[in-house]
Amino acid sequence: MNKDLSRLLKLFRPYAGWMMLGGLVSLAAVLANITLMGVSGWFITAMGLAGIAGVSMNYFTPAAIIRACAIIRTGGRYGERLITHEATFHLIARLRRWLFDRLEPLSPSALGFMRSGDLLSRMRGDIDTLERFYLGFLVPVITALAATILIMLALSFFAPVLALWAGLFLILAGCIIPLLIFKNSRTSEESLVNTSADMRTQLASNLQGMGELLLYDQDGTHVKSLTQQSESIRDHTVSLQNKASTGENLSGFLAQLAMYGILIISFFFLQNGTISPPGLVLLTLLMLASFEAVTPVLGAFQKLGGVLRAARRIFEIADQQPALTVADTTQPLPEAKDIHFENVTFAYQAQHKPVFCGLSFSVRQGQKLAVTGPTGIGKSSLINLLLRFQEPQEGQISIGRQDIKSYNPEDVRRCFAVLEQSPYIFNASIRENLLLGNPAASRQDMEDACKKAGIHEFIATLPQQYETILGEHGRSLSGGQVKRLALARVLLKKAPCIILDEPGEGLDYQMEQDILSRVIDNLNGASLILISHRHTALEEMDQVLNLEDQAAALQAEEN
């Protein structure tokens, strides 16, 4: 068995009961329909012959069987969809949770080099594709296999040759042809998954950068690329549909051959009195109806290539190893959250040039440190190291004189509240965006934080105030309002250390000065690390660390 399918089965094991129940209900519906067609043919024929002969017959039993089969078929098909879709929702939810649990330790160290659209495509598109695994593959295949065995057993009671004849054509239609179609369609199915994923990735990137594309008049180039991908998807889809039509035609041809074969064989048994005329009709219609059990296998195998490719894409990122090492036993954080960098050397990849070498500095609890230097010198990399999103190749980072690796990473991250260069505002209410900083915050806490950040007055003018929906990326707010709302979120967290990453980015000098003043006035004993290439408020800092000067001094020592 393919290792990716084996892994999927292991992931779905907790819902094996739902999966088996869905398969059993599907099998019951298929068998009821086959039995209904066969018994109906027998009953009509028997009643007709009894009328011609002028004899009576027991029509209550076959009529009851027909009614029972009709009820089971109708209820079974409804129950099948209800149970199999419920099982599918459980399976997909489990798969998404499993993938997120794998991704969380990887972010951003192992995922920082992936395009966000590609990650979104795997999280959504590829997992949605995997719903075919149970609903579109396992259920049809298991139902076809079980139905084939039961049909052959039923026919063997009349004559073994009938069972062998039926088994031959059911295997051809339910196994051989689907495998040939799968082999012929796998490349197209995988290409369809890859092209669809590439298109989703590019579309997400285009939407995020739509302003820049329009500004530099590059939207036409990207539209052309999306058009080409769309045409490629159309070509693959048409190719797959043609192959599916060929398989369906072959399956229909085999159904006719099987039916006529059963009719001819049964005719010989009719002549020697082994089978009655109604029995001949029953067997013929039973054979024809039996193909309902194996016909869905054709589509199941054709889509299997796409399922395998989607599974591989998901496992490719899930199998990555976290860049962080977490100790088996962790220590509690100390009361004083003093921060120490001792000869720290860091590069994003081992073969790349280090961002900085031999970096050393200390920030005692309550102190204010400014980290300056030009863009690209490594200022923002300090945040990734402090939050344990990355680890240095050499040196040691300590909190309270203990190596940061000896603490739980989540405990370390709770020590810091970060105001990013471009704060992310979710398409939710102001209240919900603020609660990200402190889920237990009360309404009064939120108002106090917003007053300190200087945005409460604006919120109070809104019709819905703190329940106002902000739109994607907070599009209803100006750049300064976004920064102030993010600052309120930072202050609401009440962390021992506040980090401001380029707080003046996109703002004028006066607004940047106002935001810095509000932070400094509301530290309440917390440490402050200001990361900026500007010189705003440096006079209020206890220390100033210029990474450019340190890099130059280190270079001079090496020379």
Q: Are residues 180 and 256 in the same domain?
A: yes
328 lies in some domain? no
Are 412 and 404 in contact by the 8 Å Cβ rule? The answer is yes
Instruction: Give the pLDDT confidence score for residue 195 in this predicted structure.
Output: 79
Q: Encoding tokens for residue 136?
A: 């579109």
Instruction: Give the pLDDT confidence score for residue 164 in this predicted structure.
Output: 92
Q: Are residues 302 and 346 in the same domain?
A: no
221 lies in some domain? yes
Say whether 328 sits in a helix, a strand or coil.
coil
How many whole angstroms separate alpha carbon 172 and alpha carbon 251?
8
Instruction: Give the pLDDT confidence score for residue 556 in this predicted structure.
Output: 53
| CB burial of residue 245 (10 Å; 0-12, 13-18, 19+) | exposed
Q: Encoding tokens for residue 274?
A: 């082994």
> Rounded to whole angstroms, what are the CA distances from 244 to 187, 189, 301?
14, 12, 10
How many whole angstroms separate alpha carbon 245 and alpha carbon 435?
54
Q: Encoding tokens for residue 11?
A: 């992931």
Q: Are residues 352 and 458 in the same domain?
A: yes
Provide the residue-wise pLDDT of the chain in tens; the chain has 559 residues: 467 777 777 888 888 888 888 889 888 888 898 888 888 888 888 888 877 877 777 778 888 888 988 898 888 888 888 888 888 888 888 888 887 777 776 666 656 555 656 666 666 667 777 777 787 888 888 888 999 999 999 888 888 898 899 889 989 888 888 888 878 777 777 777 777 777 777 776 666 666 666 666 666 777 777 788 788 888 778 887 888 788 888 888 888 898 888 888 888 888 877 888 888 888 888 888 888 888 888 888 877 777 777 788 778 777 777 666 666 666 777 777 788 888 877 777 655 677 777 777 888 888 888 887 776 666 677 877 788 777 777 888 888 778 788 777 777 788 888 888 777 788 788 888 888 888 888 888 888 888 877 788 888 888 888 888 877 776 777 777 787 888 888 888 888 888 888 777 666 677 777 777 877 777 777 888 888 777 777 777 788 877 776 655 555 555 5
In sequence order, what are the residues at sequence separation of 6 or more whose Cβ sits closer than 8 angstroms to the Cβ of residue 555? none
Instruction: Give the pLDDT confidence score for residue 396 in this predicted structure.
Output: 81
Final residue of a domain: which of 318, 351, 383? 318
Final residue of a domain: which of 318, 349, 381? 318
How many whole angstroms separate alpha carbon 174 and alpha carbon 167?
10
Final residue of a domain: which of 288, 318, 348? 318
Are 168 and 254 in contact by the 8 Å Cβ rule? The answer is no
Q: Are residues 136 and 237 in the same domain?
A: yes
Q: Are residues 483 and 554 in the same domain?
A: yes
Q: Are residues 403 and 305 in the same domain?
A: no
Q: Are residues 27 and 120 in the same domain?
A: yes
Residue type at 418 in one-letter notation: V
Residue 476 domain boundaries = 339-558
How many whole angstroms separate alpha carbon 143 and alpha carbon 20?
10
Instruction: Give the pLDDT confidence score for residue 234 in this predicted structure.
Output: 82
296 lies in some domain? yes
333 lies in some domain? no
- Domain total for the chain? 2
Q: Are residues 401 and 469 in the same domain?
A: yes
485 lies in some domain? yes
How many whole angstroms separate alpha carbon 262 and alpha carbon 245?
26
Say whether 337 sits in a helix, a strand or coil.
coil
Residue type at 319 in one-letter notation: D
331 lies in some domain? no
Answer positive or negative: Cα dihedral of 306, 308, 312, 318: positive
For residue 333, how far is the Cα from the chain centroid?
35
Are 174 and 58 in contact by the 8 Å Cβ rule? The answer is no
Q: Are residues 314 and 225 in the same domain?
A: yes
Q: Are residues 390 and 532 in the same domain?
A: yes
Strands 339-346 and 356-363: antiparallel
What phi, psi does 528 have (nearest 5°)?
A: -135, 130
pTM over cut 0.75: no
Q: Are residues 300 and 414 in the same domain?
A: no
Instruction: Give the pLDDT confidence score for residue 349 in this predicted structure.
Output: 64
The CATH number for 468's domain is: 3.40.50.300
